[in-house]
Amino acid sequence: MTVCASNSNKLLEVTTNSGQLVGTLIDLASDTNYISTEAAERLKLNGENIKMIVQGVGGMEKTVATKRYTSRLRIKTPKGTVTEHKLYGLDNIAKVHQAVTPEQLQKFFPDIATKDLIHPKKIDLLISHREGRLVPQPTKRTASSAYREILVELVGPSKAQAENETIIWSAATTNKEVFEWFKWDSVGAACDPQCGGCKCGRCPPGGKEITIGEERDLEKIKECLTYVEADKHCGTPHWDAAYPWKGDPVMLPDNQHAVEATFLNTEKRLEKEPEWNAAYREQIHEMVSTGADAKLTKDEINSWKGPTWYISHLVAPYPHSTTTPVRIVWNSSQEFLGLSLNSLLHKGPDVLNPIRGVLLRFRSGLYAALGDVKKMYNSVWLKDKEVHLHRFLWRDRPEDDIEVFVVVRVNISDKPAGCIAQVAMGEMANLPQFAAMVEERRVLVEDSYVDDILTSHEDITTLEKITKGVEEILKAGSFSLKPWIFSGQSGRSGATANSSNSETAMSVPKTLVLPNQMQDEESKALGVGYEPETDKLRIMMSINFSKKRGK
């Protein structure tokens, strides 16, 4: 292979035993040699199977199943030595955006023949800084310098004075040519925008839509998730989650009295609305009965030695529902002495699929299916430290004592809650026991948006098989689904439109429910009204008949 370094001007010739050419990159920031899998197979290198941990920017780590090769390279030096080098296999190393021609390179190296100025069109080998004998050394600098020309008129000054002047002719490479060199030599490692230092965390890495800072947060969230078969929280397989903290939560002050004042205000508001009070109390009891919340005993409160934090909960009117006039809203952003729970947490990137893409794929097949994950956020359990950082206060009646409860599942109001729940659900597709369920795993990863799963297929039998497989995968992580809705089906639990009673149904007058009037129990597809019986989407919008509103 011919080695042409990116940032130096010395060419060294290194060949394999077979004499094949391999595009090579000298990386002075790497301490390991890499070779592409395709090149290793082409060179017929023997390798041993290993698991390699690659450390990236910001301390990120990635485990790669690969091979370690031993290659003998002949270096064209005065001694002509042959040495062995350890190489680690990777699928891809770097991309060459534009291969530089020998004629372009000869502008910078006029003393070297064009046949020796071979620039690789593909990078298959990366040489680290440890291979000192392979790192080219500069023999000629091409950086632009400030040159000046002194024109001497012999008729003016004396000849002796003219001979003492230094005459320098401008023969350096121009700035334009230097910038062209960097443009030619790009191997896909540049950031856009180019801030020069990549320290702000806002530069997106190549081929990804998230920034380096968001990618770092995503790795932290993945490290905080633990898949367990069973523990004291739950006897079935599930996910336990720690939180990605910016700082030690020990610094959080004791905010119990401040949250107690907020609770008393909430209690007074509920007392004025008996219907609201009953609905609010019922929701608290439901969360305790389903295991999302738990009441702490005095012994548990006194025995805990770790950090604590209390979360306030507020009344949120919900006029669109006839059964639930109010909802509970947790306020994880409420500050006390300048700190809040969310102020110490990383949010994580937006890992949701594009909503338009999900809707388009939902309509691509002849038959459609719509699934809804029950309480998706509450399907991931919190670890003990996070549990005691989610204490809250409650009592059923004003004359009772105020008791301490805790949230034991991921709380929807916490900053990283959405990313944690979405990553945990997506990681179910990576479990080894489901490796053979290719289409089911694709549906779970690509055809989901938050807690909705929308997919379609040309064959109804295959679609039913896929939905059962998706349900099986989610069940292995304590994610449960509501009954699936299929196109042609009358409601979530109704029969299909092609049933034997279709003639009787046709004789009964049908009541059309406008999309604006759809309640929680009706079918919706990502905020769009969906009629499964007719398999039609309805755009939900409001009409203003008032001249006073919005002119």
pLDDT digits (tens, 9 = 90+) for 275-309: 999 999 999 999 999 889 999 999 999 999 999 99
pLDDT of res. 177:
56
Q: Which amino acid is at 113?
A: A
Average pLDDT over residues 248-264: 93
| Top-confidence residue, 517 or 497 | 517
507-516, long-range: CB within 8 Å, 24+ apart, which pairs?
A: 515/539, 515/540, 516/540, 516/541, 516/542
In the prediction, which pLDDT does 471 show? Answer: 94
d(Cα 83, Cα 71) in Å, to the nearest integer? 8
2-127 classified as CATH 1.10.3470: no
What percent of the residues of the chain are helix, what percent strand, and what percent coil, each to the nearest 5?
30, 20, 50
Structure tokens at 91: 């699928």
pLDDT at residue number 5: 39
Q: Is the model more confident about 377 or about 321?
A: 377
Q: What is the mean pLDDT of residues 257-285?
A: 93
3-state secondary structure 77-100: CCCCCEEEEEEEEECCCECCCCCC
The owner of tokens 């100025």 is 117
For 152-169, the pLDDT digits (tens) are: 333 334 444 444 443 333
Give the CA dihedral 444, 448, 452, 458, nearest 10 degrees.
Answer: -80
**Quick check: 95 pLDDT over 50?**
yes
Band of residue 526 on the pLDDT scale cut at 50, 70, 90: confident
Lowest-pLDDT range, 3-7, 225-229, 259-263, 441-445?
3-7
Alpha carbons 39 and 186: distance in angstroms, whole number: 21
Q: How far apart are CA 221 and CA 223, in angstroms?
A: 5
**Averaged pLDDT, 512-541:** 68
d(CA 348, CA 353): 15
E strand intervals along 235-279? 238-241
CATH 2.40.70 in the chain is located at: 2-127
Taking residues 123-147, what's their average pLDDT?
A: 58
pLDDT at 379 over 70: yes
Residues of the chain with pLDDT > 70, as a percent, come to 70
